[in-house]
C-alpha cells in the first residue's frame, strides 16, 4: 500500500504527467470551443459527448492519483487549489443532466480554469492577484457606501424621468456602474434626463469626480503596494554591500586596537 | 454629574456601543433602500415612518451621549466628524416636512455616510483622501483656467452650430467635461459640428491632448505623493539598521582609543 | 530717469500691484464670460466695449511698467513669459477690427492665460509641465510614424467602405485619434466596416493594442521621471543623516590616533 | 576587395549617408501619403510609379552597401533589424504586381517603418518596448484563459439573443475585447441583451471587474519594472558617495594604527 502511495506521489510530481494533463486541459478547451459552433456540434454530437466523458474520467483518475499521493486526505484539501480541482471535477459527475443543461455546460467550461491550478507560474500569479484583494477591503467598503447613497438618491430623483436607468435601486446601481466606467454617461444617461430636469448635472458630475478619484486612489494603493514589495524583494543595494565591507573593516580596526593594547 | 459624564465617556468608547450604532446605520441604510421600491413603501408606509423616527431618536441619544462624554462642548465640535454627525442628525429634526420632501429624503440618505464617522478605518481613509486635495490646489486652478478659456472659445465658435452642446457658457463647460472623459466626444459632439465647420477638429484634439495631459499629471502628482509618504512611513531599511551597528562599533573603538591613551 | 526706473521695478515687484493685476485679469475673464450670453451682451454692448478698452490699456501700462523696471529691454524679452504677455497685449491693439472678429475675440480670451504668467505658483507648474515635453520627443516621433502608417493603410483599405471615417489621409488620422481614445471605436467605426469587410477587425485590434501600449509607456516614462525628480529633491534621508554622523566620528577617531602617535 | 569592403563600412557608418537615407524614407512616406488622394494619384500615376521604383533601388543599394560593409553575411543577418530591412526591401522586388495589389501597397507603407531601424534613438526605444513583452508572458496567458472562458460562456448564453455580438466564439472574443475597452459595453452590448435576459448583467459586470483588474495589474508590472530599471541605472546616490569617503577614511585609520604598532 505504501509502495503504491509512493508511486502515486512520484507520478503526480513528474514532469510528463503534468505535461499530459496540461495538454488534455487544452484539448478540453478546444473541444468546448468547437461545441459552440452549432454546425460542428450537431454533426458530431456523439463524438463530443464521448470526448467529454473520457476527459472527465481521466481528470478524475488524475485527482485520485494526486489524492493518494498526498500525505493525508486532510493535507490534500488544505491547499485551496486542490479543493477547486476536486469541486470542478466532482461537479462533472454530479450534475450530469436533466434540466440544468446551462449550469452543466458552464461547469464544463470552468474546467479550463484548471490550467491555472496545474501550471505553477499561473498559480503563483493568481495567488498574488488574490492577495491584493484584502488590502483593498476598506476602500471597497467606502466605494460600496458611495454607490449605495448615490443609488438611493438617483432612484429617488430620476425614478419617473428615466425608468430604464433609475427605475429601481438595483437598476440604479447598474447604471451607476456604467457611469463610473464613463460609458455613454453623458450621451446615453445624463442628457436625456437633463431635458426634463436641467439641474441633474450635479448628480452625474459629482458622482464621476468622486467615483474616479476614489477608484484611482484604490489603484494607487495597489501600485504603491507592488512597488514596495518589489523593492523589498530586491537584491541588496550597492549601499548595503558597501556597509558590509565597512563593518568588516571596523572589526579589523577594533582587533588591531585590542592587539595594540596588549603589547 | 461627573460620574454621569464618566459613564457616558466609557459607554461612547465601548465596543458594543459602536457595534450597535454601526448595525443601526446599516439597518437605516436597508430601510432607505427598501423605501425606493414603491410597492413595498406604499403598503408599509406607517412602518417606514415609525422606523425612521425611532432611528433618528436613537442617533440623537447617541450624539448626546458622545457630547456629554467629551471633555467640553467646544472640544466635541473641534473634531469635524462630530460636527458632521451633529448636522446630519439635527437636520433630521429640523427639516421634518412640508414642501422640502426631496431635501428631507436626501438628508436621510446622507445618514448612511455616518458609517464613515463611526467606523475608524473608514474615517482614517477618508481623512487621508481629503488630505490629498490641498496639494492639488494649483493644478485644479490651472485646469479651471484651461476649461474656462476653452468654454468661452467653444461658446463663441459653436453657439449657432451646436446649441445643445455649446449654446451657453455653462452648457459648454458641461460638454467639455463630457469631452475630457472621452465620452462620445467624437461620435456625439465633434462629428456633427465637423459637418458644418470642417476646421473644428483642432478645438477638440488640442483640448483632449492638453486636458488629458494636465489631468494625468495631476494624478501622477498624487501617486508620487503617496509613494513618498509610504516610503517615509516604512520601517527602517536594512541600510539604516546596519548604520546603527556601525555607529555602535565606532563608539566602542573611540572608547578603546581613549583607554589606550590613558594607559 | 534711473529713479523712475527704480520706482517701476519696485512697483512691478510689489504685492498690491500683482494683486490688482490678478483681480483685473479675473474681472476680464468674467466680462468675457458674460459676453457669450447674447441677451446680456446686446443690451450692454457699449459697456462691454468700453470695459475691454480700459482693461487693455491698463494691461498695456502694466507691461510698460515691467518693461521699464527691467534691467534692459533684451533681458525683459529673454523671459518667455514676458514675450507671451507682450504678444497677448500687443495683439489687442493691432487686431482691432474689421473682418477678423473671431480671431480678435479668441485673442481676447487668451488674456485670461496671463493669470499663469502673473501667479508665480501657476507659472512654476506650467514650466514644469512644459519641461516634460522634450523628454517625450522620441516616443512622440514613434507615435507619429505609427499613426501615419495606420493612417495610410486605413485610407487604402476603407476609402470606399467608410468614406466618412477613412475618406482621405487627414480624415483617417482624425479617426485613428478617435479610435485610440477608445471613443465609439467599435460601435461607431469598426462594426459598420466589418459588415462589408469581415476581416477588418485585425486593423482596429492591432492598432488599439499597439497604440495604447505605446501611449501607456509614454505615460510611464513621465511618471518615472517625476518620481525620480521628486526623490532627488527630497530632504536628506535618515541614512544620509546617519552617515554624516559616522563621518564626524571617524574624523574624531583619526584625530585621537594622531594625538596618540605624537605622545 | 577588402578595400571596397572597408569603403562600404565607412560609408554605411557615415553621418551624411544615414541622413540621406532618413530623408529618402521621409520622402517615401510623403509620396505614399499623397498616393492615397485619388485626384493627385491619377493625374501623376507615372511619376508615382517612377519615384517608387527609384526609391526601391536606392534602398536596395543601401542594404547592399551595409551588407558588404559588415564582417560577414551571417553577422549581418544576426541583427534582427537588418533582417527586417532586408525583408521589407526584398519584398518590394518580389511582389511586384498582378493580383496582390493591396499586399504590395501595404508592404510599401511598411517601408516607413525603416525609419525605426535607421534612427538610432527610435531603434533603442522600440527595442526597449519589445523587451517588456516577455515579462508579460504569464499575465497574457492568464488574460487569454480568462477571455476564452468568458467567450465560450458568452456564446453559449447569448448566441440567440444577440447574434451580432455573440453569434460565434470568434465574434464573442471580439465583442469581449470591445467590452474590456469599455466602448459601448452597456449602451450597445449589455442593455439590449438585458431586455431579453434580465440576469445577464453579472456576465458583463464580473467580466469588466476581473478584466480591468488583471489588465491594470499587467500595467502595474510594467511600471514597477521600469521604475526599478531606472533606479538601477541611476548615478550613485548621495549615500553611496558618502560611503566611499567613509571607506577611504577607514583605510587611513587602519594604516595609522599599523604605523603606531610598528613604532
pLDDT of residue A1: 65
From the CA of A182, how many Å to the nearest CA of chain B? 6
Nearest to B260 among A182, A244, A260 (CB): A260
Percent of chain B with pLDDT over 90: 34
Instruction: Return the DSSP state at C263.
Output: -
Residue B19: name the closest of B118, B121, B122 by CA: B118
From the CA of C182, how many Å to the nearest CA of chain B? 8
Please indicate, yes or no, if residue C244 is contained in any of the structural domains.
no
Lowest mean pLDDT among A113-117, B219-223, C156-160: B219-223
pLDDT above 70 (res D130): yes
Contact at CB, A125 and D145, closer than 8 angstroms: no
D189 and D146 within one domain = yes
Nearest to C145 among D115, D164, D188 (CB): D115
Contact at CB, C182 and D184, closer than 8 angstroms: no
Please indicate, yes or no, if residue C251 is contained in any of the structural domains.
no
What residues of C are in contact with residue D122 (Cβ under 8 Å)?
138, 141-142, 145
pLDDT of residue A76: 87
Nearest to D260 among C142, C168, C261 (CB): C261
pLDDT band at C2 (very low <50, low <70, confident <90, very high): confident
pLDDT of residue B143: 92
Neighbours of chain B (3+ CB pairs under 8 A): A, C
Lowest mean pLDDT among A231-235, B224-228, B249-253, D9-13: A231-235
B143 and B49 within one domain = no
From the CA of A71, how many Å to the nearest CA of chain D? 30
Q: Cα(D168)–Cα(A71) distance, rounded to whole angstroms?
A: 46
The C-alpha cell of D145 is what? Answer: 484563459
**What is the interface size between A and B, counted as CB pairs within 8 Å?**
124
Contact at CB, D149 and A226, closer than 8 angstroms: no
pLDDT of residue B106: 81
More confident call, D183 vs A253: D183
**What is the interface size between C and D, counted as CB pairs within 8 Å?**
125
pLDDT of residue C248: 79
pLDDT one-digit tens code per residue, C134-192: 878 888 899 999 999 999 999 999 999 999 999 999 999 999 999 999 999 999 999 99
Nearest to C242 among B217, B243, B251 (CB): B243
In the 3-class helix/strand/coil scheme, how is chain A assigned residue by residue?
Answer: CHHHHHHHHHHHHCHHHHHHHHHHHHHHHHHHHHHCCHHHHHHCHHHHHHHHHHHHHHHHHHHHHHHHHCCCHHHHHHCHHHHHHHHHHHHHHHCCCCCCHHHHHHHHHHHHHHHHHHCHHHHHHHHHHHHCCHHHHHHHHHHHHHHHHHHHHHHHHHCCCCHHHHCCHHHHHHHHHHHHCCCCHHHHHHHHHHHHCCCCHHHHHHHHHHHHHHHHHHHHHHHHHHHHHHHHHCCCCHHHHHHHHHHHHHHHHHHHHHHHHHC
D131 and D164 within one domain = yes
Please indicate, yes or no, if residue C246 is contained in any of the structural domains.
no
**What is the interface size between A and D, counted as CB pairs within 8 Å?**
124
More confident call, D7 vs D204: D204
Q: Which residues of D79-98 are buried (b: 16+ CB within 10 A; e: fewer)?
A: eeebeebbebbebbeebeee
pLDDT of residue B107: 82
Q: Cα(B102)–Cα(B106) distance, rounded to whole angstroms?
A: 6
Residue of chain B whose Cα is closest to the Cα of A200: B174
A211 and A134 within one domain = yes
A148 and A135 within one domain = yes
pLDDT of residue D4: 85
Nearest to A182 among B129, B181, B250 (CB): B181
Q: Cα(A187)–Cα(A181) distance, rounded to whole angstroms?
A: 14
Residue of chain B whose Cα is closest to the Cα of C232: B228
pLDDT above 80 (res A255): no
Q: Cα(D252)–Cα(D181) distance, rounded to whole angstroms?
A: 64
C65 and C156 within one domain = no
Contact at CB, A186 and B182, closer than 8 angstroms: no
Q: Cα(B129)–Cα(C191) distance, rounded to whole angstroms?
A: 41
Please indicate, yes or no, if residue C23 is contained in any of the structural domains.
yes
More confident call, D66 vs C220: D66
What residues of A are in contact with residue B164 (Cβ under 8 Å)?
191
pLDDT above 90 (res A149): yes
Residue of chain C whose Cα is closest to the Cα of D115: C145
pLDDT of residue A237: 65
Contact at CB, C145 and D230, closer than 8 angstroms: no
To probe the interface with D, which of A173, A184, A227, A235 has the most D CB atoms within 10 Å?
Answer: A184
To probe the interface with C, which of D27, D101, D183 has the most C CB atoms within 10 Å?
Answer: D183
Please indicate, yes or no, if residue B10 is contained in any of the structural domains.
yes
A166 and A84 within one domain = no
Q: Cα(B100)–Cα(D260) distance, rounded to whole angstroms?
A: 93
Q: Cα(C198)–Cα(C196) distance, rounded to whole angstroms?
A: 6
C136 and C104 within one domain = no
Q: What's the Cα-to-Cα distance from B210 to each of B45, C2, C132, rounded to whole Å? A: 53, 43, 13
Lowest mean pLDDT among B18-22, C217-221, C234-238, D197-201: C234-238
More confident call, B209 vs D258: B209
C229 and C196 within one domain = yes
pLDDT of residue A261: 67
pLDDT of residue D201: 93
Contact B253, A250 (CB under 8 A): yes
More confident call, A222 vs A161: A161
Tell me which residue range forms the domain holding D55. 2-118
pLDDT of residue D251: 78
A113 and A214 within one domain = no
Lowest mean pLDDT among B68-77, D100-109, D154-163: D100-109
- In whole angstroms, what separates CA B27 from the centre of its chain? 23
Contact at CB, D246 and C243, closer than 8 angstroms: yes
SS3 D21: helix
Contact at CB, A260 and D261, closer than 8 angstroms: yes
More confident call, B190 vs A220: B190
The C-alpha cell of B17 is what? Answer: 456601543
Please indicate, yes or no, if residue A82 is contained in any of the structural domains.
yes
pLDDT of residue A100: 62
Contact at CB, D254 and A259, closer than 8 angstroms: no
Contact D139, D167 (CB under 8 A): no
From the CA of D224, how many Å to the nearest CA of chain A? 6
What residues of D are in contact with residue C187 (Cβ under 8 Å)?
178, 183-184, 188
More confident call, A24 vs B2: A24
Residue of chain A whose Cα is closest to the Cα of D221: A226
What is the full DSSP assignment across C51-101?
HHHHHHHHHHHHHHHHHHHSS-HHHHHHSHHHHHHHHHHHHHHHS-STT-H
- At D83, which CATH number? 1.20.120.350
Contact at CB, D153 and A181, closer than 8 angstroms: no
Percent of chain C with pLDDT over 70: 89
Q: Which residues of C170-188 are buried (b: 16+ CB within 10 A; e: fewer)?
A: ebbbbbbbbbbbbbbbbbb
What residues of C are in contact with residue B186 (Cβ under 8 Å)?
178, 181, 183-184, 188
pLDDT of residue A24: 93
What residues of D are in contact with residue A169 (Cβ under 8 Å)?
none
Mean pLDDT, residues B149-167 taken together? 92
pLDDT of residue C263: 61
pLDDT band at A256 (very low <50, low <70, confident <90, very high): confident
The C-alpha cell of C165 is what? Answer: 471615417
Q: Helix crossing, C15-35 with C2-13: angle to 10°? A: 60
pLDDT above 90 (res B251): no
Please tell me the total count of domains within chain D.
2
Nearest to D182 among A182, A246, A253 (CB): A182
Mean residue pLDDT of chain A comes to 85
Instruction: Return the DSSP state at C184.
Output: S
More confident call, A243 vs A111: A111
Please indicate, yes or no, if residue A249 is contained in any of the structural domains.
no
pLDDT one-digit tens code per residue, A32-76: 999 888 888 888 888 988 998 899 999 999 999 988 888 888 888
Q: Choose one of A87, A118, A149: the last residue of a domain.
A: A118
pLDDT one-digit tens code per residue, C32-59: 999 888 888 888 888 988 998 899 999 9
- At B143, which CATH number? 1.10.287.70
What residues of B are in contact with residue A257 (Cβ under 8 Å)?
253, 256-257, 260
How long, in residues, is chain D?
263
pLDDT of residue C42: 87
Contacting residues for B203 by C-beta, under 8 A, at least 6 apart? B150, B153, B154, B157
Mean residue pLDDT of chain D comes to 85
Mean residue pLDDT of chain C comes to 85
Q: Choose one of A68, A100, A118: the last residue of a domain.
A: A118
pLDDT of residue D168: 92
Tell me the pTM: 0.87
Q: What's the Cα-to-Cα distance from C123 to each of A170, B158, C119, C238, rounded to whole Å? A: 48, 30, 6, 33
pLDDT band at A227 (very low <50, low <70, confident <90, very high): low
Contact at CB, D155 and A105, closer than 8 angstroms: no
Nearest to D125 among C142, C152, C236 (CB): C142
C185 and C139 within one domain = yes
Q: Choose one of A94, A118, A142: the last residue of a domain.
A: A118
**C-alpha neighbours within 13 Å on the C-beta side of residue D227:** 26
Contacting residues for A5 by C-beta, under 8 A, at least 6 apart? A68, A69
Please indicate, yes or no, if residue A170 is contained in any of the structural domains.
yes
C126 and C110 within one domain = no
pLDDT one-digit tens code per residue, D184-234: 999 999 999 999 989 899 999 999 999 998 888 877 777 666 666 666 655
Long-range CB contacts (within 8 A, 24+) of B123-130:
B123/B81, B125/A138, B125/A139, B125/A142, B126/A142, B129/A213, B129/A214, B129/A217
Amino acid at each position: 500500500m505504501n509502495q503504491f502511495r509512493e508511486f502515486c506521489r512520484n507520478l503526480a510530481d513528474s514532469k510528463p504527467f503534468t505535461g499530459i494533463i496540461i495538454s488534455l486541459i487544452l484539448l478540453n478547451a478546444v473541444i468546448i470551443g468547437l461545441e459552440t459552433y452549432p454546425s460542428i456540434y450537431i454533426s458530431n454530437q456523439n463524438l463530443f459527448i464521448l470526448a467529454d466523458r473520457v476527459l472527465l474520467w481521466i481528470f478524475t483518475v488524475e485527482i485520485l492519483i494526486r489524492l493518494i499521493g498526498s500525505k493525508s486526505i486532510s493535507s490534500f484539501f488544505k491547499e485551496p487549489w486542490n479543493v477547486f480541482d476536486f469541486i470542478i471535477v466532482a461537479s462533472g459527475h454530479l450534475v450530469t443532466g436533466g434540466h440544468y443543461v446551462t449550469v452543466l455546460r458552464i461547469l464544463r467550461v470552468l474546467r479550463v480554469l484548471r490550467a491555472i491550478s496545474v501550471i505553477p507560474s499561473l498559480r503563483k500569479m493568481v495567488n498574488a492577484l488574490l492577495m491584493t484583494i484584502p488590502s483593498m477591503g476598506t476602500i471597497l467598503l467606502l466605494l460600496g457606501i458611495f454607490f449605495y447613497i448615490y443609488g438611493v438618491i438617483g432612484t429617488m430623483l430620476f425614478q419617473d424621468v428615466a425608468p430604464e436607468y433609475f427605475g429601481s435601486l438595483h437598476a440604479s446601481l447598474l447604471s451607476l456602474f456604467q457611469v463610473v466606467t464613463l460609458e455613454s454617461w453623458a450621451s446615453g444617461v445624463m442628457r436625456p434626463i437633463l431635458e426634463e430636469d436641467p439641474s441633474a448635472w450635479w448628480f452625474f458630475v459629482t458622482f464621476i469626480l468622486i467615483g474616479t478619484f476614489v477608484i484611482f486612489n484604490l489603484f494607487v494603493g495597489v501600485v504603491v503596494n507592488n512597488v514596495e514589495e518589489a523593492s523589498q524583494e530586491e537584491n541588496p543595494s550597492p549601499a548595503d554591500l558597501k556597509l558590509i565591507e565597512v563593518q568588516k573593516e571596523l572589526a579589523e580596526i577594533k582587533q588591531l586596537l585590542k592587539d595594540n593594547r596588549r603589547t
